[in-house]
């Protein structure tokens, strides 16, 4: 029980930081140490999260991608996975939502997918890891209608009339649906946001 309380306090403190204050240049030996700890079978969740937080703030983009990919692949601890997803989203400069037409797609859904070449992209203009929020549409805050809100293993996307709901999957992707409009002429389009 004591270990769980310490872990929860660690998660809360980590999520109050505003992502990486700055990227860090690590020595190769340090990168190897954090890499080995992150991928170690049976590693303590706190140790694994510590290694992830170090690697995701590396000044080497490939190490940041590695941290997210391997971090999600090597742990089934829900709190660690949720923190990795949150950190990964805080690194994004743009939200790319991949769209997949299905049998229930309306003509307007198909037109929306075609207009965006199957990927609906929105630039991120504000980050708040403390609020679990990405601001969109030139905003310097998280406005209700122009944001992506992260709660645990779920994300809710709002950009004007475009609304989406996503869940973190075991494959390390956010999978869900996007509605391109709120009236009956639109259905729910299957959609995905990749974390790396």
What does the domain layout of the chain look like in residue ranges?
A: 2-90, 94-194
Query: In the chain, which ranges are continuous DSSP H helix?
Result: 2-16, 28-39, 45-55, 61-74, 78-90, 107-115
Residue 186: pLDDT band by 50, 70, 90 thresholds?
Answer: very high
% of the chain at pLDDT higher than 70: 90
Placement of tokens 């990919």 in the chain: 69
Q: Exposed, middle or buried by CB within 10 Å (0-12, 13-18, 19+), for 165?
A: middle
Residue 8: pLDDT band by 50, 70, 90 thresholds?
Answer: very low
Three-state DSSP at 38 gives helix
- The mean pLDDT of 26-50, rounded to a whole number, is 94
Residues 129-138: pLDDT tens digits?
999 999 998 8
- The mean pLDDT of 151-165, rounded to a whole number, is 96
**pTM, to two decimals:** 0.83
CA distance 12 to 25: 26
| Burial state string for 56-91 with b = 16 or more CB within 10 A and e = fewer than 16 | bbbeeeebbbbbbebbbebbebebbbbbbbbbbbbb
Residues 40-76: pLDDT tens digits?
988 999 999 999 999 999 999 999 999 999 999 999 8
Instruction: Give the pLDDT confidence score for residue 19 in this predicted structure.
Output: 64
């Amino acid at each position: 029980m004591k270990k769980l309380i310490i872990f929860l306090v660690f998660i809360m403190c980590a999520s109050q930081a505003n992502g990486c204050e700055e990227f860090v240049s690590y020595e190769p030996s340090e990168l190897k140490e954090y890499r080995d700890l992150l991928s170690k079978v049976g590693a303590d969740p706190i140790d694994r999260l510590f290694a992830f937080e170090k690697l995701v703030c590396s000044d080497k983009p490939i190490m940041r991608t590695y941290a997210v990919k391997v971090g999600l692949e090597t742990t089934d601890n829900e709190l660690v996975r949720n923190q990795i997803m949150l950190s990964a989203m805080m690194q994004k400069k743009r939200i790319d939502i991949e769209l997949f037409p299905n049998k229930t797609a309306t003509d307007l859904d198909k037109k929306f997918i075609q207009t965006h070449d199957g990927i609906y992209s929105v630039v991120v203009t504000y980050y708040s890891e403390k609020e679990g929020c990405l601001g969109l549409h030139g905003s310097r805050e998280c406005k209700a209608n122009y944001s992506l809100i992260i709660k645990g293993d779920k994300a809710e996307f709002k950009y004007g009339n475009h609304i989406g709901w996503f869940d973190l999957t075991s494959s390390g992707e956010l999978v869900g649906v996007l509605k391109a409009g709120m009236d009956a002429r639109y259905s729910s389009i299957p959609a995905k946001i990749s974390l790396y």
